Amino acid sequence: MTESNNMPGKIHQGRNIKRFREMLGIKQEALAHELGADWSQKKISLLEQKETVEEAILAQVSEILNIPVEAIQNFDEEQAVNIIANTFENCNQPASIFNNSQINPLDQLIKLHEEKIALYERMLKEKDEMMARLEKLLHRE
């Protein structure tokens, strides 16, 4: 593991914006549209290359992506990968990964993912119920 390119503990906020945007399935063009008329896909691309992003832009992007500003400011992919790797190596002590205060962005991501799954399951259940009602209506005639 080399630390020549990245100083330890240095967070690349632009890269984090890109990661969260991609995880949420949002295209650069869509994010640019939401940010306003003076934004373009190219400007989003340049934003995602910046190590540090202005507070006002961070606030706008976090609102659009519906994630906390702290997630963009603190998410460290290398640390997350190490935590996940250590979790699999130390299966007897999974709770130990939650003692680190910088895992909050990862917790938020997991929570969002679980909420998405729950929503999808509710939608499937509603679809099944609607199909059953439609079948009843068809069999009445």
CA–CA distance, 109 with 114 (Å, rounded to integer) = 9
Give pLDDT tens digits for 104-121: 677 778 888 888 888 889
122 token code pair: 């509710």
Q: How many residues can be counted in the chain?
A: 141
Determine contact, residues 48/37, Cβ cutoff 8 Å.
no
Q: What is the pTM of this model?
A: 0.54
67 token code pair: 């994630």
Amino acid at 57: I
pLDDT score recorded for residue 71: 84
Give pLDDT tens digits for 78-92: 776 666 666 665 555
104 token code pair: 């909050």
Amino acid at 82: N
Determine contact, residues 32/41, Cβ cutoff 8 Å.
yes
- Category of 31 on φ-ψ map: left (φ > 0), alpha (ψ -120 to 50) or beta: alpha
Determine contact, residues 91/84, Cβ cutoff 8 Å.
no
